Amino acid sequence: MPITDPCLRRRFPPAVLLFAAAHLTNLPSSALAGGIYVPMKGATATGSANVGLASAARDGSTLFYNPAGMTRLGDTFVEIGVDAINADIAVDNRGSLAGTPGSAGQEVLYAGSRGHGDGWIPVPNLFLGTPLMDGRIWIGLAVTSPFGLELDYGPEWFGRYDSYNNSIKTLDIAPTLAYRINDAWSIGGGIDIQYADAQLISALPDPFNPGGPTPGSDGRSKLTGDGWGTGFNIGLLYQPSEQTRVGLHYRSGMDHTLKGSAEVSGLRGPLAAANGRSDTRTGLDLPDILTLSVTQAVTSRLTLMGEVQWFGWDAFDEIRVRFASGSPDLVRPQGFENTYTVGLAAEYALDPRWTLRGGIQYDESPTTNALRNTSIPDSDLLWFGVGASYSVSKQLRLDVGYAYGRFARADIDLTLPFYAGTPLESSVEVRGETDSHVDVLSLSVSYVFGG
């Protein structure tokens, strides 16, 4: 169907770019926890299924989970680690359809393989801390990646018109300060300086292709954005006895402005005029997080931990894309809901050198059935973790942890409009069911100077 209207020709490129920009609102998911949050920060966290971390105050990761815990660490320390993450995300086709002028407007089954994205991604972390004034004051630095993953389904899978190659990477730099008020109470906090970089690639159907769209005839939409944001975190640690610790920690929400572009390529024939690029600015609102945990020594060897977390995911209600060209803002609802996690963990000291740990956690998803998509194929998640620590000496300790997370099966039911308001108006119905899990393998090395 040729484009004969000159006015239609002039407005067609921004129409396609607007559609492409809409996909930036499907920012790629970490697929590790509720929404796009990556909970693990070091091997002891992984081994305990991310439970008890606001009260444990056992190593450098307390700088992220509750900086007040620094006051219980003894002496100057450094801890480095890596969390290797494999999010195995599978989506089965449940009758996806496309309706285009090439199929005479009829909805037909279109070509596309099963969706499967996996691959091990290393995520490093670093924690430093040192005491001042005989240990009453501590200063530290935490470098982590609270959100992020790379997920590539491939350009031939059936959900490609929603997304097929996603990545989001963050770097959080947090200088921290803690003060030991007395033997029972400590307070700590930090400033979070966070960089975010996001990319989303999706396919664009060729409305002219006879019988419906195929991977070989598709165009491509590529969206990128990056930017810096700031926030803060603050925590309390209460230790009424040698056996009991209670931790309360608050992490503020963070508002990112991602500056980037929407780029369309690969469209052929009359649609080739739509190939091009538009600068964009997109707001990304991340949730505030409130954590309460308890650590209780039952015997000289056995310690139990419990934790509850609350996530203010309703901040992620919509994503708004602004165009440097002055085109109207594009707004796409996300409809995230506030969530919680709850878990239990235990540690057992075999001897002065070896400590074993394990935990279980339930992690509620903020996504809703009506708005779940292929770039955030999230659902409720159950974590299981195991790990061990080995003290090489009084100064040097090695930690290892493994966690397995199983997602509940969930449906994806999307109707995606293309080229709306033109003679080439088309639609794709993406119908799928998720069957996913995630593995995390963590290694950490910590060294205490003068310990």
Q: Are strands 77-93 and 115-117 parallel, antiparallel or unpaired?
A: antiparallel
| pLDDT score, position 25 | 36
DSSP notation for 87-98: EEEEEEES--EE
Which amino acid is residue 143, in one-letter code? V
Residue found under tokens 């309390």: 236
- Would you call 40 helix, strand, or coil by DSSP? coil
> Positive or negative CA dihedral for 105, 109, 111, 115?
positive
Residue found under tokens 């000289």: 300
| pLDDT score, position 34 | 54
Per-domain residue ranges for the chain?
A: 6-448
- The pLDDT averaged over each successive group of 10 residues in the chain (451 residues) is 31 39 37 67 96 95 97 94 89 90 87 79 94 94 87 87 86 97 97 92 91 91 91 97 97 92 88 87 88 97 97 81 77 80 97 97 84 75 97 96 93 86 88 90 94 57
What CA–CA distance (Å, rounded) separates 371 from 25?
12
Say how many CA atoms lie within 13 Å of 123 toward its Cβ: 33
Retrieve residue 415's tokens: 């109707």
| pLDDT score, position 35 | 56
Retrieve residue 338's tokens: 């506030």
162 neighbors 24 (Cβ within 8 angstroms)? no
| pLDDT score, position 285 | 84
- Residues contacting 337, CB < 8 A, separation 6+: 313, 314, 366, 368
What CA–CA distance (Å, rounded) separates 208 from 205?
9
- Residues contacting 435, CB < 8 A, separation 6+: 90, 91, 92, 409
Neighbours of 433 (CB within 10 A): 15
- Residues contacting 131, CB < 8 A, separation 6+: 71, 75, 76, 137, 138
DSSP notation for 362-410: EE-----TTT--SSS----EEEEEEEEEEESSSSEEEEEEEEEEEEPP-
| pLDDT score, position 19 | 41
414 neighbors 162 (Cβ within 8 angstroms)? yes
Say how many CA atoms lie within 13 Å of 203 toward its Cβ: 26
CATH fold of the domain at 6-448 = Porin (2.40.160)
What CA–CA distance (Å, rounded) separates 244 from 303?
10
| pLDDT score, position 151 | 78
**Exposure string for 34-43, b = 16+ CB within 10 A, e = fewer:** bbbbbbbbbb
What CA–CA distance (Å, rounded) separates 335 from 316?
7
- Residues contacting 286, CB < 8 A, separation 6+: 147, 229, 253, 254, 255, 256, 315, 316
Alpha carbon 64 to its chain centroid, in Å, reads 16
Q: Is 126 exposed, middle or buried (0-12, 13-18, 19+ CB in 10 A)?
A: middle
Residue found under tokens 């901040």: 315
CA nearest neighbour of 262 among 314, 325, 205 = 325
DSSP notation for 110-178: ---BPEEE--EEEEEEEEEEEEEGGGTEEEEEEEE--SEEEEE--TTBTTTTT-SEEEEEEEEEEEEEE
